[in-house]
Amino acid sequence: MTTELLAPLDLAFWHLESADHPMHLGALAVFTAAPGTTPGEGVPELLATRAAAVPRLRMRVRDVLLPVGGAAWAVDKDFDVHRHVRVLPLPAGDFAVQAELLAGELMERPLERGVPPWEMYVLTPADPGPEAAPERGRRFAVLVKMHHALADGMRAVAIGAGIFDQIADVRAAGDRRARPVPPRSWLPGPWQAAGLARDRLEDLRRALGIGASVVRASRFDPRGVAALTAGSSGTRQLATAVLDLADVQLVRKAAGGSANDVLLATVAGALRRWMLERGEPLPVAPPRALVPVSRRRPDSPPGSANELSAYLLGLPVAEAGARARLDAVRGAMDRNKSEGPARGAGAFALLADALPPLAHRLGAPLAGNAARVLFDILVTSVPLPRSTLSLGGCPLRALYPMAPLARGQSLAIALSSYGEQVYVGLVADGKAVPDLARLARGMNEELDELLRIAP
């Protein structure tokens, strides 16, 4: 049977998972149904057909004898796409609120092992009633869950894009430019042994250097914002925000730096507002955000593995002014980019990539517990295609990305640009951060304040 070894970082994500800390990415996509149709009509069958045509979504993880502690992707001979695509009606009430509540509950549940690690849910609305606006009454949503071992954010977008009309139509037209990834054998030939030995020595040297950077960046006094350091309850809550991309660009042009700097400053300001309203004292040491950085080349093949590093950023929540917070973020990110992604806590992903499979299998509990001393919050940007997307002729209106929570973490924020908006998905431990919607509103309030510096 054709197999492909899990890359070291994929293997780390696979073993880091626990019942309270599922390691899957998510996205909540909102569509408008075509006039004269029932919201979600025909969508489950369409999703099933298109997902089954994506080779990566037919693969499951299985253990291998060699390398010791390793695992491989293998085609699931008993693959049944209908185990992965389901329909769930939403309770009566506001569509957006009910979709967020149900998506949060679904994100709590780890993906089933032993089958391809992904799921899709079609969330159909309750009868909106005659008083609802026509367009609002025709909305439905699709929740996608995909294990982090299967893909990082960029690869998840590439795989998930296969469900949209624009990508599926190209495939149906016979575009064969994407070549399959050759499987990586788990048993090297004798001519490879010397090269592998040299590679392992180089990996060890590299791991020691990266490990030293991680240790230097670690905090052994992990006190901080109470809600962000709370113990895990295993529950999940989702909140969303929508930012105007034109406003983000106005601030960027006025202050310099990048659009991502503006978004990170917006997160810092939202956290400050949220903490002050909660009556929490502002921390002396700024909360630390892990900001993932893709190392993937644009021409990398579709089946390639996670290729991530990250930057470490102190979020300047103690700064009183929005411009001061933005300047602090911009300066810190400039320093990060100048030093490169192999320094500090962000190099943890590179360290994982340099360790042998057995280390991931045995060391996953220790690595999971280490996250708390490395960073407080994950803030990630997930790029989306620039073109307008649709599903069965139903236009995509919004797409909220969702990141997993590492052990010891209570909050993760993901952002994606689509059309003229930036869609923000906030995922939190439901008991540690019950007021997540307030934090989401703070994103818009902070961007409004930043706009005052624009001409």
DSSP string, 388-421: --EETTEEEEEEEEE-PPPTT--EEEEEEEETTE
Q: List all residues 6 or more positions away from 248 whose beta carbon is below 8 Å from its beta carbon.
A: 259, 262, 263, 422, 447
Q: Say if CB 389 and CB 157 are below 8 A apart.
A: no
Q: Say if CB 149 and CB 14 are below 8 A apart.
A: yes
User: What is the per-residue pLDDT for 370?
Assistant: 55
Q: Are strands 377-381 and 288-294 parallel, antiparallel or unpaired?
A: parallel
Instruction: Report angle CA 26, 32, 161 to the nearest 5 degrees.
Output: 40
* pLDDT tens digits, 330-350: 999 998 888 776 555 455 454
Q: Which residue has the higher pLDDT, 292 or 248?
A: 248
Q: Which residue has the higher pLDDT, 383 or 367?
A: 383
pLDDT-derived band at 359, boundaries 50, 70, 90: low
Q: What percent of the chain has pLDDT over 70?
A: 73
Q: Phi/psi zone of residue 233: left (φ > 0), alpha (ψ -120 to 50 degrees), beta?
A: alpha
Q: What DSSP character marks residue 149? A: T
User: What is the per-residue pLDDT for 372?
Assistant: 61
Q: Whole-model pTM?
A: 0.84
With b for 16 or more beta-carbon neighbours within 10 A and e for fewer, the 359-377 pattern comes to: bbbebbeebbebbbbbbbb
pLDDT-derived band at 135, boundaries 50, 70, 90: low
Q: Are strands 237-244 and 139-147 parallel, antiparallel or unpaired?
A: unpaired
Q: Dihedrals φ, ψ of 162, to 5°?
A: -65, -15
* pLDDT tens digits, 373-394: 578 899 999 888 778 899 999 9
Average pLDDT over residues 318-322: 94
- Among 353, 253, 238, which residue's Cα sits nearest to residue 306? 353
Q: Which value, in Å, is the radius of gyration of the alpha carbons in the chain?
A: 22
Q: What mean pLDDT, rounded, does the chain reach? A: 80
Q: What DSSP character marks residue 70? A: -
* pLDDT tens digits, 175-231: 444 444 444 443 444 444 444 344 444 444 444 444 444 444 555 444 557 778 777
* pLDDT tens digits, 410-447: 999 999 999 999 999 999 999 999 999 999 999 999 99
Task: Look up residue 116 and give its two tokens.
Answer: 């391809």
pLDDT beyond 80 at 297: no
User: What is the per-residue pLDDT for 173?
Assistant: 56
Distance separating alpha carbons of residues 343 and 10, to the nearest angstrom: 21
Average pLDDT over residues 25-34: 94
